[in-house]
Amino acid sequence: MSATPHQPTVTEREARQVAEAAREQDWRKPSFAKELFLGRFRLDLIHPHPLPADEDTQRGEEFLAKLRDFCETKIDSARIEREALIPDETITGLKELGALGMKIDTKYGGLGLTQVYYNKALALVGSVNPALGALLSAHQSIGVPQPLKLFGTQEQRDTFLPRCARTDISAFLLTEPDVGSDPARLATTAVPDGDDYILDGVKLWTTNGVVADLLVVMARVPKSEGSKGGITAFVVEAASEGVTVENRNAFMGLRGLENGVTRFHRVRVPAANRIGPEGAGLKIALTTLNTGRLSLPAMCVGAGKWCLKIAREWTSVREQWGKPVAFHEAVGSKISFIAATTFALEAVLDLSSQMADENRNDIRIEAALAKLYGSEMACLMADELVQIRGGRGFETAASLAARGERAVPAEQVLRDLRINRIFEGSTEIMHLLIAREAVDAHLSVAGDLIDPDKSLSEKAKAGANAGVFYAKWLPKLVAGAGQLPRSYNEFHHDVDLSTHLRYVERNARKLARSTFYAMSRWQGRMETKQGFLGRIVDIGAELFAMSAACVRAEHLRTKDDHGREAYQLADAFCRQSRIRVEELFGRLWSNTDDIDRKVVKGVLSGTYTWLEEGVLDPSGEGPWIADATPGPSTRENVHRPIR
């Protein structure tokens, strides 16, 4: 599709350069997941399981108790679903409770919770109603507080954080009608004008945007003499003249979500509201998401726990052929999957979150894997719950209640969870993002070899450096602790988890060998092999989840906290995961990627239009992508600040 007149036209290479420039280039701290993709199983980076400080635990537990009481007594989830709106009094109550400031430092009026307890709070709220979880998460994980915490000036923190902690809801505005995961084409502009910037453009899918008081807006500053310009982040007052919320969007799930379309027309933003330097906007966004992404798997863990509860209660009372359906193998395997996967997801989340709190490891890959794996597995668990419930799983909670049965919103949870595979980086984008980080060490030493812009002398130098690196690295992929029968024996108790850790070690090396072989085979074309890269990442996600599950089980055993049961769940999960890993390894080299590309070309060229005959298209009229030409709004402003 051609670019609209106001939109930058960029090549594929230029778009990639913009994304690459926004990456964190250095690895100053160790990363368990990065080492895993390199074939090095660094169990010492995650075991023994890191622990929160006693005062952090006490503060977190005290808030969770208050939040639980509020959720039980003040939130009507059925009403939110019915009216597709979160009542003002519910949001006001959360404000009074301090829920807007869970992650904000106490010196700014926040609660100062750790990432671990922030996630527990989101899981709790999200289990009652995911739209509420999304509101709190968008406000604190990617909204104004986190970018200011990481990149803001002291004056900005003093000005905005107290408001965000208690009264003001914030939103994050990056996506545009024709710009999703390709920010190089960002069209919203911020033109310097004295001590201000003039903001023009349209933003789409602005979660919290309909009710927000403060916005983080990504806009392109034009190049000028003495300024490189580029995509830049700003804090914008939602009540500013020229800001119009033109539409409140409606979705298949999260019906209470305050998500809209926001237009900026000649909006004056003080230069003092710019976050970081000009051109740093994407780096700020990506860095914010390093921990911000952990909010989604938190709510996925909450959903898994709820699915397990409903599956247990329902299958124990529903009888078929003389016994509860739980004891029929076809249903029992689904219950086992939900239980084992929920245990593993919580292990991944808590481990990643505690490492984020300690700040001694680089967790950019761990957080991304948690988001990717959590969102995919939660959808599968919810789908299995609907299947376990049968016709009742497809029936709405309101309909069940109307005919006298328990109002179990299984179909709603499935609808609500579906967006998590798209939110904050779709599964496909997460695959590419994680794959880029996973092969960073290779590109650092050999990247110039496959760069068409590099000279012969630069390629020769890169070849020499690569030779030194691979001469040391490749021999280490041949043998390791995973081949020694007594390795990781501290995980061998009534149930033996050491065998699973040995499996992880062996297959981490196999994964690294597979990646190296693919780079040798495809070289510069490696980045186009998205199917292969996705499977590499999925194998890494499974190995990470297995590691986290075993470490969590051992941690609970040493605490005498359901340790025996935890070992059983970890064992079940690892056995299920190993089956998936073997399938993924097989599909690395035996797949339909090539024929799929041929079919796609045929579809787009019209070769198969005959296959579409015999149906009618109920879609309405209109363009595929709405016009986002800058200019004054012609729509009613549906902005609805909550006071």
366 counts as catalytic: no
The per-residue DSSP string of 357-386 comes to HHT-S--HHHHHHHHHHHHHHHHHHHHHHH
Instruction: Give which of 316, 368, 365, 374 is closest to 343, Cα–Cα.
Output: 374
61 SS3 class: helix
CA neighbor of 271 nearest in space, from 230, 233, 227: 233
Enter the tokens of residue 240: 């500013």
**Residue in 554, 464, 531, 540 with CA at minimum distance from that of residue 509:** 540
How far apart CA 87 and CA 71 sit, in angstroms, is: 13
Least Cα distance to 47 among 341, 354, 357, 292 occurs for: 354
Q: In sequence order, what DSSP letters do the residues of 498-548 get, joined into one string? A: HHHHHHHHHHHHHHHHHHHHHHHHHGGGGGG-HHHHHHHHHHHHHHHHHHH
Nearest to 25 by CA among 372, 368, 287: 287
321 phi, psi to nearest 5 deg: 55, 40
- Say which DSSP state 194 is in: T
- Residues forming beta bridges with residue 227, ordered by sequence position: 224
Instruction: List, as own/partner pairs, every contact residues 380-384 make where C-beta atoms lie below 8 angstroms and the sequence separation is at least 24, other chains included.
Output: 380/337, 380/341, 381/303, 381/304, 381/307, 381/337, 381/338, 381/341, 381/342, 382/303, 382/307, 382/410, 382/413, 382/414, 382/417, 383/414, 384/307, 384/311, 384/334, 384/337, 384/338
Active-site pick, 411, 424, 505, 554: 424
The single-letter DSSP state of residue 224 is B
Query: Whole-angstrom Cα distance, residue 575 to residue 219?
Result: 48
- Mapped onto helix, strand or coil, the DSSP state of residue 5 is coil
- CB 311 within 8 Å of CB 388: yes
Catalytic residues: 424
